[in-house]
């Protein structure tokens, strides 16, 4: 009898009503590893990277993976082997990249709160560049370089005052946000430090937010950045690179999320920046790894309430905080699909009322010890986990073809 196969995406599918990632049964994963467990499709990560890369026809940008999205060392190794650099925001992320195959000349250090220790480490290792977010930070970089008798490339992160039209907690490009230097101050900083012997300011950088669904905020920010670059050129400043950050959104719920195509994003970048004939840096995180991951969880029990039925699972907000923190709406699938349906409130075991993954959700009727997956948890999932309630963190596995590894 022919197997029935229903695909959710290229690498997640039901085969005879049992869910598989690539060619590995998720039932088999749960037998081998105690739930909850994060599962990542290696092929999906590779596909996303290659799709982004081939979307450009008039330039070859340096793709620096935003490590804050997921700092799993095996994911970093895979992306490094594909030629990716890294965008890091802490000494921990920087060390993780250096240990796992990312060339130091492809590492950009971003972030508003770099400590003296972090700046020293970056300068000593002569990474590609430090993106500073204030004149005060720039002064500290200079003092450290002076003591170490070293010089380093610096980018100025521009705050273009553009609303990314995303969740308020992940918008970073408005004047009210803590990030970046107001656009009005950039030229004067270039002029003030033009002949400094310890830093070479040769890049302008922006990052206006995350999970951006429309090209309009990018267009507004790119236009402002382009005008700034033209102004710098008029004053005889030369740029080595233009860092346009990341922020490309992904589909979390296919009934709600409408995202632009990556090819149209690439065309917009080329329209505004390729004529400058300088290196373009991209910093995607969520786009590369978000849809690659699911969190596999087991049903603890079904609890009948007065007005609703609670599906209590062993993954909690300590394992995956996005729904509690950002009210994010992730799709949930049963690992074994059944015809009989039931409405559930899908909740975790944490002693917080906000430990909810899905409300009033119709899915296959489940019982104790059945398995479910929460989709698109490859970004800002495991890396934001905690030991709250002294619960264990979820293990992580990578799946490629018929094999899984990296436990």
Taking residues 391-405, what's their average pLDDT?
Answer: 96
* Same domain assignment for residues 154 and 245: yes
Helix (H) / strand (E) containing 117 = helix 116-124
User: CB neighbours of 129 closer than 8 A, spacing ≥ 6?
Assistant: 108, 109, 152, 153, 154, 155, 203, 241
* Same domain assignment for residues 259 and 182: yes
- Which residue bears the tokens 């906000």? 354
Last residue within a domain, chosen from 241, 265, 289: 289
* Same domain assignment for residues 163 and 47: yes
Q: How many other CB atoms sit within 10 Å of the CB of residue 80? A: 18
Q: For 97-150, how does the pLDDT look when each residue is reduced to its tens digit (9 = 90+)?
A: 999 999 999 999 999 999 999 999 999 999 999 999 999 999 999 999 999 999
pLDDT at 254 over 90: no
Q: For 189-238, how does the pLDDT look when each residue is reduced to its tens digit (9 = 90+)?
A: 999 999 999 999 999 999 988 899 999 999 999 999 999 999 999 999 99
227 φ, ψ (degrees, to nearest 5): -65, -35
* Same domain assignment for residues 218 and 345: no
DSSP string covering 331-370:
-EEESB--S-EEEEEEE-SSSSTT-EEEEEEEEE---TT-
- Which residue bears the tokens 């300590």? 318
Last residue within a domain, chosen from 289, 308, 337: 289
* Same domain assignment for residues 285 and 312: no
Contact 379, 286 (CB under 8 A): yes
* Same domain assignment for residues 136 and 179: yes
Q: For 162-199, how does the pLDDT look when each residue is reduced to its tens digit (9 = 90+)?
A: 765 554 554 454 456 667 899 999 999 999 999 999 99
The secondary structure of residue 72, as a DSSP letter, is -
User: Quick one: what percent of the chain has pLDDT higher than 90?
Assistant: 86
Average pLDDT, the chain: 93
pLDDT for res 161: 76
Our answer to whether residue 97 is catalytic in this structure is no
Count of domains observed in the chain: 2
220 φ, ψ (degrees, to nearest 5): -65, -45
pLDDT for res 45: 98
Last residue within a domain, chosen from 289, 318, 351: 289
The span from the CA of 177 to the CA of 398, in Å, is: 36
pLDDT for res 177: 63
List the structure tokens of 40. 């990542």
* Same domain assignment for residues 60 and 26: no
* Same domain assignment for residues 241 and 253: yes
Q: For 334-349, how does the pLDDT look when each residue is reduced to its tens digit (9 = 90+)?
A: 999 998 999 999 999 9
Nearest CA to 128 out of 101, 94, 157, 99 is that of: 94
Contact 246, 282 (CB under 8 A): yes
User: Residue 291: helix, strand or coil by DSSP?
Assistant: helix
* Same domain assignment for residues 207 and 141: yes
Helix (H) / strand (E) containing 268 = helix 262-273
The span from the CA of 380 to the CA of 364, in Å, is: 27
* Same domain assignment for residues 54 and 22: no
Structure pTM? 0.93
What CATH number did the domain enclosing 393 receive? 2.40.37.10
* Same domain assignment for residues 177 and 51: yes
* Same domain assignment for residues 58 and 160: yes
- Which pairs with CB-CB distance under 8 Å and at least 24 residues apart come from 112-120? 112/178, 112/179, 115/91, 116/140, 116/144, 117/91, 118/90, 118/91, 118/94, 119/144, 120/144, 120/148
What CATH number did the domain enclosing 50 receive? 3.20.20.10
Please pick, among 59, 203, 351, 383, the residue that the annotation labels catalytic.
Answer: 351
Its domain, for residue 20, covers 5-41+290-405
């Amino acid at each position: 009898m022919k197997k029935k196969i229903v695909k959710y995406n290229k690498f997640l599918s039901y085969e005879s009503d049992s869910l598989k990632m690539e060619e590995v049964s998720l039932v088999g994963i749960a037998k081998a590893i105690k739930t909850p467990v994060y599962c990542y499709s290696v092929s999906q990560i590779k596909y996303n990277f290659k799709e982004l890369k081939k979307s450009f026809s008039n330039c070859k940008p340096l793709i620096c993976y935003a490590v804050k999205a997921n700092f799993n060392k095996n994911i970093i190794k895979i992306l490094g082997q594909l030629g990716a650099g890294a965008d890091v925001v802490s000494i921990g992320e920087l060390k993780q990249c250096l240990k796992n195959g990312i060339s130091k000349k492809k590492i950009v250090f971003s972030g508003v709160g770099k400590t003296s220790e972090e700046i020293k480490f970056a300068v000593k290792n002569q990474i590609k560049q430090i993106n500073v977010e204030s004149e005060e930070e720039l002064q500290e970089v200079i003092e450290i370089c002076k003591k170490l008798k070293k010089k380093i490339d610096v980018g100025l992160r521009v705050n273009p005052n553009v609303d990314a039209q995303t969740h308020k907690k992940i918008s970073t490009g408005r004047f009210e946000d803590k990030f970046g230097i107001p656009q009005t101050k950039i030229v004067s900083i270039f002029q003030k430090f033009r002949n400094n012997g310890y830093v070479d300011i040769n890049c302008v950088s922006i990052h206006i937010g995350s999970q951006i669904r429309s090209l309009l905020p990018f267009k507004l920010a790119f236009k402002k950045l382009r005008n700034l670059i033209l102004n710098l050129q008029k004053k005889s400043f030369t740029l080595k690179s233009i860092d346009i950050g990341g922020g490309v959104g992904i589909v979390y719920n296919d009934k709600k999320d409408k995202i632009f195509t990556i090819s149209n994003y690439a065309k917009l970048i080329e329209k505004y920046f390729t004529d400058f004939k300088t290196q373009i840096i991209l910093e995607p995180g969520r786009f590369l790894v978000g849809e690659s991951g699911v969190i596999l969880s087991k049903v603890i029990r079904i609890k009948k309430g007065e007005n609703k039925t609670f599906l209590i699972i062993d993954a909690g907000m300590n394992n995956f905080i996005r729904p509690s923190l950002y009210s994010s709406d992730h799709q949930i699938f049963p690992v074994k699909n059944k015809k009989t349906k039931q409405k559930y409130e899908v909740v975790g075991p944490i002693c917080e009322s906000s430990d909810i993954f899905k409300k009033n959700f119709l899915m296959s009727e489940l019982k104790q010890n059945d398995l479910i997956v929460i989709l698109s948890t490859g970004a800002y999932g495991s890396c934001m986990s905690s030991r709250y309630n002294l619960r264990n963190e979820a293990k992580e596995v990578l799946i490629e073809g018929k094999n899984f590894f990296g436990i």
